[in-house]
Structure 1
Amino acid sequence: MSVVKVSPRGWPGNVRIFYTTRTGGHSEAPFHGFNLGLHVGDDLGAVKKNRADLLAQLPAATEIAWLEQVHGTQVVQACDSLQTPARADASWTGDARVACAVMVADCLPVLLSNLSGTVVAAVHAGWRGLAAGVLESAVSALNVAPRELCAWLGPAIGREAFEVGAEVRSTFLRQDDSDGCAACFRASPTRAGHYLADLSALATLRLDGLGLRKVEGIGLCTAGDAGRFFSYRRDDITGRMACLILREY
């Protein structure tokens, strides 16, 4: 199935979450499958067909707010990105049937909602954006007490596949020298001076620190499942998947 609907326990009943896989679709190798990225070198006609198929799987009358993602911290209102993708890494909305969307191929998608289901957001959180504060910016933009927010972490590169240099570890430890942050990094068994990083755990630490009480993740590794997921780290030239969140009413 190309489009997967997720229903996290305890989330507001009017909020809908979806993530896509690479299965099905109209794109040919090396983007074969359900590639949604217009910027990766794929045939534009195939990508547009894939995006149309995605839209057909969402609630009727949904509009998707795509972003031009740059690994930064900019957050925009989704309605400002409906016609032309805004240069940002997160969007939020209180409008019904406007889907906040982020594209990923290893980076972590983080979806947010308040407990009453009146406002939602989607965040693209690679390690650079995470370290720079994209989650903090998104939570601030929602203007909701963090204890009233819930977060869902989608498919991303897993700890066993995400090898980083010592400078990445140092960046995070300069911001948070706790044992919890240190535990998100384990020495690489194959390369001296490198570490295996747990991106989802780093994001969870940030969200916990902001005061969110309900944070959960799907725990699927994009790099380790070539049949279902695109992975930039694994394949270099590859397609993009999407994670989306919207309010139905």
Structure 2
Amino acid sequence: MRQKSINYNMQQEVDSAIEQVQWPICSLRDKKRINDHVFALQTTRVSPKEYVNDLSSPYRYFNLGLHVGDCAKHVEKNRQYIQTLFPTNIKIQWFKQVHGNEVAEVSQVSSHNITADAAVTREKDIGLAIMTADCLPILLVSKLGDEIAAIHGGWRPLVANIINNTLEKMKTKPTDLYAWLGPCISQKNFEVGHEVKAQFVEQDEGFSLAFKVSVNGKYLADLHHIARLQLENLGIQQISTLPECTYANTDKYYSYRKNAVTGRMATVICLK
């Protein structure tokens, strides 16, 4: 089901380029608290409103990654648009993602990219931005609406226990956290070698359920299934998903596996 696209104040619709994150079904008290104190959005590759960048570019239309070879002016323009969806006191922190398992605790926004593949904050007015183009964006929020995290869930960070590392930086106990899993490459389009499956199964035999044998003897990996198993094993039970495939839907999403030279979407979460 398509998610409704609305702005920070939830008073009017934004265009189809931006989608608001929908948290798991929870108690009315928790839902109100989270909606009152937390805002999160997911971008697509669709251009906001009427402006469109170079239609011949592989980065068209709404690339947010400065590291992929796109025109820096176009990217900054797109990032500035995202910034306008938030009150002026909120600033977005961008990261240099290296497919590792480092988690940053952010207490103030830096003008420089922080090298990390996940981030945690308990401070208001800080937007944590994770960029993806097939990898899985993961967001965590406390039921009190006072602590958030954003995680870049590629297979390498996941096998390196980035979710666990993130929880170790958080003060909220896992049973009091809600999780959201965003769009990523689907299992039927994500072929990996035996060594990838082996790394997960060595940790827990249960991960074998997230892999199917491909026609050529390799495996098809399910990032959503892997992340859900890790979250549940760590004590997080309230999980919602936007299970759309980036590889199969490149009119809407960027896909590195499909196009190689392409842009990046952003998933941004902040405490109001």
TM interval, short-chain normalised: over 0.9
Correspondence for 2:172: 144
TM-score by length of 1: 0.94
Q: Which residue identity lines up with residue 187 of structure 1 in the other structure?
A: V
Q: Percent identity?
A: 36
In the alignment, the residues of structure 2 paired with residue 84 and residue 158 of structure 1 have an alpha-carbon distance, to the nearest angstrom, of 32
Q: Kindly indicate whether residue 54 of structure 2 is the aligned counterpart of residue 3 of structure 1.
A: no
Query: Which secondary structure state, in structure 1, belongs to the residue aligned with residue 196 of structure 2?
Result: helix
Aligned partners of 2:77 and 2:193: how far apart in 1? 39
In structure 1, the gaps of 5 or more residues are none
| Residue number among 20, 33, 39 corresponding to 1:16 in the alignment | 39
Shift of 1:83: 1.6
Match of 2:140 in 1: 112
1:233 aligns with 2:257: yes
1:187/1:206 CA distance change after superposition, 3 Å: same
Q: Distance in 2 between matches of 1:98 and 1:71?
A: 23
- Root-mean-square deviation (CA, aligned residues, Å) is 1.3
- Distance in 2 separating the partners of 1:177 and 1:69: 29
| Secondary structure of the structure 2 residue equivalent to 1:24 | coil
Residue in structure 2 matched with residue 182 of structure 1 by the alignment = 208
SS of alignment partner, residue 200 of structure 1: helix
Q: Name the SS of the counterpart of 2:40 in structure 1.
A: strand
Q: CA–CA distance in 2 between the matches of 1:78 and 1:84?
A: 13
State yes or no: 1:206 paired with 2:230. Answer: yes
SS at match of 1:160: helix
Return the letter of the residue paired with 1:128. Answer: R
Per-residue deviation, residues 158-202 of structure 1 (Å, max 9, x unmatched): 111111011101110001112xx211100113x22x111100110
Aligned-pair CA distance for 1:59: 4.0
Q: How does 1:25-174 map to 2 (within 5 A)?
A: 26-28=52-54, 29-174=57-202
SS in 2 for 1:99: strand
Question: Aligned partners of 2:254 and 2:70: how far apart in 1?
Answer: 13
> CA shift at 1:5, angstroms?
1.2
Change in 2 beyond 3 A, CA 1:127/1:206:
same
Q: Deviations over 1:45-100 (max 9, x none)?
A: 00000000111123442210110000111111234553211110011111112111
Could you list the runs of 5+ residues in structure 2 that have no partner in the other structure? 1-15
* Matching residue's letter, 1:134: I
**Distance in 1 of aligned mates of 2:245 and 2:164:** 24
For residue 7 of structure 1, report the CA deviation from its aligned partner.
2.9
Q: Secondary structure at the match of 1:46?
A: helix
Deviation at 1:27, TM superposition (A): 3.8
Name the counterpart of 1:218.
242
Deviations 1:85-139 (A, max 9, x none): 1110011111112111100000111001111000101000100000001111111
Q: Distance in 2 between matches of 1:101 and 1:46?
A: 18
Amino acid at match of 1:146: P
* Number of residues of Structure 1 aligned to a counterpart in Structure 2: 244
Q: Does the Cα contact within 8 Å between 2:108 and 2:126 map onto a contact in 1?
A: no
Distance 2:247 2:265 in 1: 13
